[in-house]
Structure 1
Amino acid sequence: MKTIKIKIFSFYLLSMLFLSACADFVDINDDPNNPTVPQLSLLLPATQLSIVGNFNAVNRGASNVIQHWAAGNLNRWDQSGTTFQSTWLGYYTQAIPDLEEMIKVGTEQSSWGYVAIAKLQKAFLYTMMVDLWGDLPYFEAAKTLNPKFDNGQVIYNDALLLIDEALEDMKKGFSVVSSSDLFYQGNRARWERFANSLKFKLYLQTRKVDPAKSQQAITALLQTGNLISANADDFTFRYGSNPAPETRHPWFTSGYSPSRDGYVSMVIVDRLKAQDDPRLRYYVFRINERAGLANSQTGEGYYGRYPGDGAASPADQNTRAIIGIYPSGGVYDNGLIPSLSSSNVYLNNVGATAGTTNNSFKLVLFANGDGTGAGIQPLLTNAMMKFYRAEAALTLGTGEDAGQLMVEAVTANMQVINSLSPAFQMSAATINGFTARLLEQYNAADAQGKLALLMMQKWIAMYGNGVESYNDYRRTGLPALEDLIAPLDVFPERFYFAETELTSNESVIEGRDQLQRNQQIVPVFWRK
C-alpha cells in the first residue's frame, strides 16, 4: 500500500511554514478521507513551502561563506556531509516528488496552470541546486532508489526547455486557485514574467561558458519587455508573525530567541559605514550600544565577528548585535552611533535616540509594525533583475545603461526595505541622494571599476539571500572577500553532498570520498 502524509501549514490554512509531504496517495477505493488522486490545489502550496522551508540551511551557509553572516564552520570554510543534509533530503523527499506528481496529474487532468507552475518551480529549484552542488540526481530522481548523478550543464539545458514548455502550457489555459499559490496568487502574467526572468538569470549565470549564446538569448529576452521590472512582481516568500504555530522568518526566530545563534558580520558593518549607507540601521540591531568586539564594553554596539574567527562564544547573548528589520522582520536600530560625523549624509544620527539601543528596542517592538518576524525571503526580484541587466550590459554589450540600471536596482532594494519598516522610512530625498552619489562614482570609474561598484552594490542588496551572492562571487570574483582569521579549509567551490546520499546510493558509493572532496575544490561548470 502506498502512503502519504501531507501537512500543509500555509497562510491560507493554518498560517504555518513547514510541511512534510511525499508523492503518492493511499490506494484505497472510494474512500473520501484517502483520495486516490492528489489535489493540485494542495500540492502547489506544499511544493512552495518545501522550496522555501528547506532553503534556510543553504542560505545561511552561503551567507557565511560570502561574509554576510559570521557563524558556524562555514565562516571558516569548513563543511561536512551533515552540513546541508536536511536541505538535500527535504528537496529530494518533499519538493521534487510533489513537483513530479503535479506535472503528471496536472497533465492527465489538463490543468495546465498547475503544470506550468510546477515546471517553473522545478527549473528554479534544480538550477539552484546545480549552482550549489554541481552534478546531482535529476532524470532518475524520485524514480529509483539509486538515481545516477547527471551533469550540471545538462540539467541547466533541460531546465531551459522546461521553462519554454511551461510558457506553452500557459497558452493552453491557466486556471489556478488563487489561495493555493503563495507566490503569485494564480496570476498568469506574473508567472510569465518570472519564467522569462529565470531564463535571463540562467543565461547570465552561464555567460562565460558560451558568451555569444548568452548575449543572443538575453538580447531576445530584453526585446520582449516581459521581465520582472517592478517590486510587485518579486518572486519573494512572505513570512507571518504568528509564533504558535510558527510562521516567522527563521532568522528572526534564531536571532530574537534568548539563546541567539551566530554573529553579525563585521564586514557588512564596516562596508556600510564606510560608504555612508543608511541600510545599516535596517540590517543590524544593536542590543547594547556600548558592546564591542570580544564582548568588550568599549565599542558602539556593533558586536559581531570577522570572517574565520574561531574563538569560543562567551556568555554574550545579551550584548551581541543581531539581525535588524530587513530581511527578517526584526527591529529598526534608532540608537545613537557615536562614530558618525558631520560628513555622514545618509547614515546619520538625525532623530536617533540617545541612551541604549535596548531602550529603542523596547519602545519600537510591535508598536510601530516591526519586531514581529514577518520578514521576507527574496528569491528572484526586481532588484536582482536590474543588477542582472546591468551586468549583462557591462560584460555582454547588450546596449542598456548599466549605471542607470544600478541606480534602479538599489532604489528597488531600498523601497522593499521601507515596506518592512512603516515607522522608520528612508525618505525619497535619502534614496535619490544616495543613488545619485553612486551614479557619480560609477561614471568616474573605468570599466573594471564600474563592474566592481555594481557587484558591491548587489552584494549589499542581497543581504538575506547569500546563495545569490555566492553565485555572484564565483561568477565574477566580486566583491573581494576579506581574509579569514583562521580558515579550516580552502574556499568552498560547491557544497558537500548529504552523507546519507553517498552511503546509500549505489551509483556513487564506490568513489564517495573523492566525490565529496571534489565539492570543496572543483568549480561548478559555469565558473570559468
Structure 2
Amino acid sequence: MIRQLKKSYFLVPLLLGFSGCSDFLDVNVTPNNPTAVTPAVLLPTVEAGAAFANANELNRFASVIVQQLAGAAPNSTPGQTDIYAATGSDFGNQWRFELYGGTLINAQKLIELGDANSGKAYSGIGKILKAYAFSIATDVWGDVPYSQALQGEANPQPRLDSQEDIYKGNAALGIQSLFDLVREGLNDLKAESQVKPGKDDLAYAGNLTKWEQAGNTLLLKLANTISRKEPALARTVINEVLTKGTYIKTNADDLNMPFGGSVGSQDPRYFYTNESLFKDDLILSTRYLNRLKDLNDPRLPILFTKPGTDYVTIDNGFRGTLPQPSTNWSRYNAYVVGANGEGPVRLLTNFQRAFILAESALILGTPGDPQALYTEGITASMTSAGLTPAQITTYLAANPTVATLTGTNAQKLEQIITQKYIAFTGNGLEIWNDVRRTGYPRLTASLNAAGIDGTPQVRAVYVTQEQERNPYFPNPGPQTNVRVWWDID
C-alpha cells in the first residue's frame, strides 16, 4: 500500500539539505498549512529527489549487476547483489520514500501548485520529472502503480498498471503514456506563466529552453528503452523529436543535478563510499578495470581513483581475502561524484543523446549517420571528463578499433553500447537498461553466482510491504530472472 502522508513531500529536503541552496531547501514548514508551500520552495525538492533516487541504492544495485563495481562485503546488499541474491526487503526505502513517497508525490504537488499559482512553467518541469521518476520505477520493477498512484488516502491501494500500458498508454483504462505525460510538460513550458523559476531551479536556473531540450531528450531516452520491443513506436517518437529540433545538443545543455560538499548534503554515491559506515561495501570491479585497460581508455583515471602504482580492485562475486588497507581501494573519482561530494548526478546528457541517435540510425533507420553520431558521443563524453580536443583526436587515431564502427549491425551496436556504458559510469540504472535490452556489453557470470538460477537480475522483486498491504501486488511476484516487458534480448 502506497501511503501518501500530507507531510511526505517534505522528507527529501530534510535528508539532502544542500549547502549553497539553503534558501530553497529550507522547507521545514508545518504540513498542516500547505498554502505556505510555493512552487519555488518545492521545485528544488523534486529535482534533488529525482537525482537522489537515481544515484542512491538503486544505482549501487545496478552498477554491481553491470560489473562496474563489485560488492566487497559479502553480507551487504551490494555483496548479495553481486551473486544475484535478492529479497523483497532490498529496496523498501527506495520505493516508499525516494520514489513514491518522495520524488513522485512531490512532483505531483509541484504540478498542482504550478496550476494553482499561474505557474505553468513549474507544472511543465514537474511533469517531465514525474515521467522520469516513473520510468525509473517501471524499468526496475516492471508493472507498478501509475495511473491510480499519488492519490493519497483517496486510493491507498492503487492497481498495478502493466509496463506496456505505462509506456504506450491505454485509453480504455484511463492510462496516459509516459510519452504523453512528457508532451504535456513540454506544452506547459510554452504556456503563459506568471510565475517562473529562477535560482530555485537547481538544474537550469529557470532557463525554460533548456528544460524543453531536456524534455525532448527524455522522449528519446524513453523511445530508446522500448525500441527493441516496439521499433515502430520508437521510430515515430524519435522522428518527432528530430523534426522539432529542440533537444540536448551540447554538454552545456545536460540535465545535471548538483549536490553540496558537506556531510548531509553530498551526492549519495560519494557519501556511501567515502563517509558512511558502509564505505567498504563497494570497490571498483576488476572486470571493468580490464575492459577499460583493453581499450586504452583515457577516462579510466578520471572515473576511478588509483591510490598507488595500480588500481585496487576485486572480481565480481569474490569471496576471498580483501585487499588491505581498504583506504587504498579504487572508488569513484571526482568527475563522477565531485571532489567533496558535489556530484553532479547526470540524468540526461549530450553523449547519451548522440549514442541514442547513433543506435537509432543504425537499427531503426532514423535520420543521421551512425558513425558521425557515435564519434560525437565519444567526443562529448571525453570532453565532459576533461580531455582536450587534441587528446581525444590522438586517442581515436591511435585506437581505430574503438573509433570506427565495423562489422555487422550487431557488432556496430555492441561498439555503440560499450561506449555508452563507459560514458555513463556512475549512472548504473541507464547502463542496466542497455545491458538488459541489447545484451551489450557482454558480461559473464559472477564468481559464486547464486540467486534464482545463477543469472544476473533482470528486474527487482516487489517490496515486501506492498505485497503484504496491497492486494493488487502478486505474492509471490515475478522473480529476478523474469524479464520486464520491453526486455526481449
TM-score by length of 2: 0.86
User: Could you give the per-residue CA deviations for residues 467-520 of structure 1, whole angstroms, max 9, x where no partner exists?
Assistant: 111000111111101331111122211112222211222332xx412x1xx141
Q: How many residues are paired up?
A: 452
User: Could you give the per-residue CA deviations for residues 295-348 of structure 1, whole angstroms, max 9, x where no partner exists?
Assistant: xxxxxx32211122234647531342222223012xxxxxxxxxxxxxxxxxxx
Match of 2:459 among 485, 494, 509: 494
Matched, 1:377 2:345: yes
Matched, 1:387 2:406: no
Matched, 1:512 2:480: no
Read off the aligned partner of 2:475 and give its amino acid letter.
R
Matched, 1:133 2:141: yes
State the distance in 1 between where 2:482 and 2:234 align. Answer: 23
Aligned to 1:236, the other structure's residue is in SS state strand
State the distance in 1 between where 2:28 and 2:145 align. Answer: 19
Q: How does 1:306-385 map to 2 (within 5 A)?
A: 306-311=315-320, 313=322, 316-329=325-338, 371-385=339-353
- Which one is further off, 265-274 or 314-323? 314-323
- Aligned-residue offset at 1:222: 1.3
State the distance in 2 between where 1:315 and 1:500 align. Answer: 39
Q: How does 1:470-489 map to 2 (within 5 A)?
A: 470-489=432-451
State the distance in 1 between where 2:52 and 2:28 align. Answer: 12
User: Could you give the per-residue CA deviations for residues 415-448 of structure 1, whole angstroms, max 9, x where no partner exists?
Assistant: 2211xxxxxxx33221112234556652443332
Match of 2:167 among 156, 162, 178: 156
Read off the aligned partner of 1:251 and give its amino acid letter.
R
Partner of 1:173: 192
**Structure 2 spans left out of the alignment, 5+ residues:** 72-78, 169-176
Matched, 1:527 2:471: no
Residue 432 to residue 3, structure 1, CA distance change in 2 (3 Å)? same
Residues 21 and 98, structure 1, Cα contact 8 Å, conserved in 2 = no
Matched, 1:435 2:400: no
Partner of 2:109: 101
Partner of 2:266: 248
Matched, 1:233 2:269: no
Aligned to 1:305, the other structure's residue is in SS state coil
Residues 407 and 439, structure 1, Cα contact 8 Å, conserved in 2 = no
Report which structure shows greater RCO (CA 8 Å, sep ≥6).
2
Partner of 1:341: none
Matched, 1:61 2:72: no
- Which one is further off, 193-202 or 257-266? 257-266
User: Could you give the per-residue CA deviations for residues 148-171 of structure 1, whole angstroms, max 9, x where no partner exists?
Assistant: 111112112321111111122222
Is the radius of gyration larger for structure 1 or structure 2?
Answer: 1
Residue 137 to residue 179, structure 1, CA distance change in 2 (3 Å)? same
Residue 93 to residue 387, structure 1, CA distance change in 2 (3 Å)? same
State the distance in 2 between where 1:214 and 1:254 align. Answer: 37
Match of 1:84 among 75, 91, 96: 91
State the distance in 1 between where 2:377 and 2:23 align. Answer: 31
Matched, 1:75 2:35: no
Aligned to 2:209, the other structure's residue is in SS state helix
State the distance in 2 between where 1:475 and 1:438 align. Answer: 27
Residue 25 to residue 322, structure 1, CA distance change in 2 (3 Å)? closer
Match of 2:419 among 450, 457, 460: 457
State the distance in 2 between where 1:235 and 1:100 align. Answer: 20
Residues 67 and 287, structure 2, Cα contact 8 Å, conserved in 1 = yes
Residues 255 and 261, structure 1, Cα contact 8 Å, conserved in 2 = yes
User: Could you give the per-residue CA deviations for residues 224-278 of structure 1, whole angstroms, max 9, x where no partner exists?
Assistant: 22111111111111222223xx322223233334953311111111011111111
User: What is the CA RMSD across the aligned residues, in angstroms?
Assistant: 2.4
State the distance in 2 between where 1:448 and 1:98 align. Answer: 41
Q: How does 1:273-284 map to 2 (within 5 A)?
A: 273-284=293-304
State the distance in 2 between where 1:205 and 1:20 align. Answer: 35
Aligned to 1:378, the other structure's residue is in SS state strand
Partner of 1:361: none
State the distance in 2 between where 1:133 and 1:20 align. Answer: 31
Matched, 1:269 2:269: no
User: Could you give the per-residue CA deviations for residues 42-97 of structure 1, whole angstroms, max 9, x where no partner exists?
Assistant: 11111112222233110110000001110121111111112211110111112222
Matched, 1:304 2:265: no
State the distance in 2 between where 1:320 and 1:12 align. Answer: 31
Residues 24 and 44, structure 2, Cα contact 8 Å, conserved in 1 = no
Residues 27 and 41, structure 2, Cα contact 8 Å, conserved in 1 = no
State the distance in 2 between where 1:230 and 1:263 align. Answer: 32
Aligned to 2:266, the other structure's residue is in SS state coil
Matched, 1:4 2:15: no
State the distance in 1 between where 2:208 and 2:392 align. Answer: 32
Partner of 2:171: none
Partner of 1:44: 43
Aligned to 1:179, the other structure's residue is in SS state coil
User: Higher helix share goes to which structure?
Assistant: 2
Residues 383 and 389, structure 2, Cα contact 8 Å, conserved in 1 = no
Residues 197 and 228, structure 1, Cα contact 8 Å, conserved in 2 = yes
Read off the aligned partner of 1:83 and give its amino acid letter.
D
Residue 84 to residue 437, structure 1, CA distance change in 2 (3 Å)? farther
Partner of 1:467: 429
Aligned to 1:379, the other structure's residue is in SS state strand
State the distance in 2 between where 1:154 and 1:20 align. Answer: 35
State the distance in 2 between where 1:387 and 1:323 align. Answer: 23
Read off the aligned partner of 1:403 and give its amino acid letter.
Q
State the distance in 2 between where 1:206 and 1:21 align. Answer: 40
User: Could you give the per-residue CA deviations for residues 23-55 of structure 1, whole angstroms, max 9, x where no partner exists?
Assistant: x941xxxxxxx4535311111111112222233
Read off the aligned partner of 1:412 and give its amino acid letter.
A
Residue 241 to residue 38, structure 1, CA distance change in 2 (3 Å)? closer
**Structure 1 spans left out of the alignment, 5+ residues:** 27-33, 290-300, 330-370, 419-425
Read off the aligned partner of 1:253 and give its amino acid letter.
F
Partner of 2:174: none
State the distance in 1 between where 2:353 and 2:144 align. Answer: 27
Residue 219 to residue 485, structure 1, CA distance change in 2 (3 Å)? same
Residues 89 and 464, structure 2, Cα contact 8 Å, conserved in 1 = yes
Residues 120 and 188, structure 2, Cα contact 8 Å, conserved in 1 = yes
Aligned to 2:199, the other structure's residue is in SS state helix
Read off the aligned partner of 1:521 and give its amino acid letter.
N
State the distance in 1 between where 2:104 and 2:410 align. Answer: 41
Partner of 2:172: none
Percent identity, aligned pairs only, is 28
- Aligned-residue offset at 1:380: 0.9
